[in-house]
Amino acid sequence: MTVQQRLSLTRADARRLLVCYHFQLASLATVIRRLGTIQFDPLAPVGTNPDLVLQSRVPGYRRGDWLHATYAQRLLVDGWDKQASLIQPGEWWAQAPFHRWFERRWRQHGVDVESPEALALVDQAERHGPATSLELGDQRSDPALRGSWYGPKRSRHLLKALWDAGRLMTHHRVGGRHAYDLPERVLPPAADMQGATQEDALQRLVVRRVQAAGLLRPTADAAVWLLPCSRAERNRMAARAIAAGALVEVDVEGTGYWATPEALSVLEASPVTAGGTSQGVRFLAPLDPLMWDRGGVARLFGFDYVWEVYKPLAQRRWGYYVLPVLWGDRFVARFDARCQQGTLSLLAWHWEPDIQPARLPEGLPDALQQAAREFLAYLGATRLVLPRGLGRETRRAWQKAVK
């Protein structure tokens, strides 16, 4: 396909693009390169967000495989993108604008990464090797910091500031806690891009955000577009990327989007060559990059998704940690679940209004059964607890999966 300056797509085309782009089954390394960044979140009722993102794209993925890929193989490193994220080590150079931005923000709150206290922590990390906040710095509490998000220890605040500013990195995790080390002892050789400017880095951050989403509205919520620059500067970087051919402007029935040429190239592929994406059921992460722009998802797929994890129980409509269910290019359901000690408990299952639970569309029960079987294998679950009111066909699909 010849990429034009501005491409027009129907909503059906846009849905096919997103499904084929995101869910072409591939190796873990290939999926990492395709997305460029994976948002990290520590909540893990059915695996962490990286687990859920990867299990929907990587055949045979098992919960926790991202840990080996990150801390042993170094296919990923802990960094910052939309929020705390896993990024490719070869793109560490593009983190520089975030590092400067965070350094300024911490200084405004009285924490200076150039202070003797902070430099002493870096020196301690250099001498000690990978170490957590329980081993580095003064362990005494500061009464002025009680109730703080980062706890009452000033040393922990300093370590977080040094991490945000790129002076320390995550070597590995100990029970979810960062073990800090120097960047040169975490990053592989030649992880820096010599001669890269601030504009080069900002442009890469903008392109990477679009790359992860596949198709992204410039008008998406501010949380989707969190960057270390103003919106005007972001638009200037996008225009620079468009001129360089790294981004393409796309019109989807009157709504503007940005896409990468790589994402647009999947429109040439048939559903069969795109990994059978047209028929499969997939359980998606709440923070899957496809779900970042929830307004865009509602516009293209007619699926109104709200993540209610931080809502009080009485205000939740769907549940605590609700996963969207995609069938082909349709969102057909959402469900809340927990997995503990080898038992997967479905707490709630909600079909979309256009799905009749008593008579599921042809092909959906079999696709659901296959997806459920793969999900149980990913979790290492051998037992299943189902809620009442699930519907006969849905219940049967899950029961067959566990057998």
Q: What is the pLDDT of residues 68-83, one digit of tens each?
A: 999 999 999 999 999 9
Is there a domain that residue 109 lies in?
yes
Amino acid making up residue 391: G
Task: Please say which residue of 275, 297, 331 terminates a domain.
Answer: 275
Mean pLDDT score, 270-276: 45
* Degrees to nearest 5, angle at CA 65 with 134 and 77: 55
d(CA 330, CA 337) in angstroms, rounded, equals: 21
DSSP class per residue in 189-230 = TT-S-TT--HHHHHHHHHHHHHHHHSSB-TTS-TTTT--SS-
Q: Is 129 left (phi over 0), alpha (psi -120 to 50) or beta?
A: left
- Identify the residue whose tokens are 């995609």: 326
Same domain for 118 and 186?
yes
Residue 197 within any structural domain of the chain: yes
d(CA 48, CA 62): 11
Determine the Cα angle at 222 with ends 220 and 225, to 5°. Answer: 75
**Domain membership of residue 389 as a residue range:** 306-402
Neighbours of 51 (CB within 10 A): 22
pLDDT greater than 70 at residue 145:
no
Distance, CA of 183 to chain centre: 23
- Per the structure block, which two tokens stand in for 157? 């605040």
Write down the pLDDT at residue 3. Answer: 43
Edge to edge, the sheet with strand 6-9 lists 6-9, 248-252, 255-259
Residue 356 placed within a domain: yes
pLDDT surpassing 80 at residue 190: no
Closest by Cα among 334, 333, 346, 332 to 381: 346
Give the side-chain half-sphere CA count within 13 A for 279. Answer: 13
> Is residue 157 domain-shared with residue 66, that is, in the same domain?
yes
Together in a domain, 7 and 65? yes
Cα 114 to Cα 158: distance, rounded to the nearest angstrom? 10
- Mark which of 275, 297, 330 sits at the end of a domain: 275
Each residue's pLDDT tens digit, 155-174: 888 999 999 999 999 999 99
Evaluate whether residue 297 is within a structural domain.
no
Q: Are residues 250 and 310 in the same domain?
A: no
The tally of domains found in the chain comes to: 2
Which residues lie across from 47 on neighbouring strands? 45
Answer whether residue 289 is part of any domain: no
Predicted confidence (pLDDT) per residue in 277-309, tens digit: 457 999 999 999 999 999 999 999 999 999 999
Q: pLDDT tens digits for 323-345?
A: 999 999 999 999 999 999 999 99
Rounded to whole angstroms, the Cα distance separating 47 from 40 reads 11
Q: Are residues 257 and 343 in the same domain?
A: no
Tokens of 68: 């080996």
User: What's the mean pLDDT in 39-46?
Assistant: 97
Instruction: Judge if 251 and 175 occupy the same domain.
Output: yes
Using the predicted structure, report yes or no on whether residue 203 has a pLDDT greater than 50.
yes
From the CA atom positions of the chain, what is the Rg in Å? 22
What's the pLDDT at 130? 95
Residues 231 and 310 in one domain: no
Map residue 147 onto helix, strand or coil.
Answer: coil
Residue 268 sits in the same domain as residue 328? no
CB 92 within 8 A of CB 49: no
pLDDT mean across residues, the chain:
93
What average pLDDT does the segment 88-106 reach? 96
- Which of the four pLDDT bands, split at 50, 70 and 90, describes residue 153? confident
Same domain, 3 and 77: yes
Is there a domain that residue 239 lies in?
yes
**Within this chain, do residues 158 and 229 fall inside the same structural domain, yes or no?**
yes
What is the biggest distance separating any 2 CA atoms in the chain, rounded to whole angstroms?
69
pLDDT of residue 2: 41
Same domain, 155 and 85: yes
- Residue linked to tokens 């209610």: 308
Look up the pTM and report it: 0.94
CA distance 77 to 80: 10
Q: Do 243 and 323 belong together in one domain?
A: no
Last residue of one domain, picked from the residues 275, 296, 324: 275
> Is there a domain that residue 194 lies in?
yes
The answer as to whether 301 is a domain residue is no
Which residues contact residue 13 at a Cβ distance below 8 angstroms, ignoring those fewer than 6 apart?
252, 267
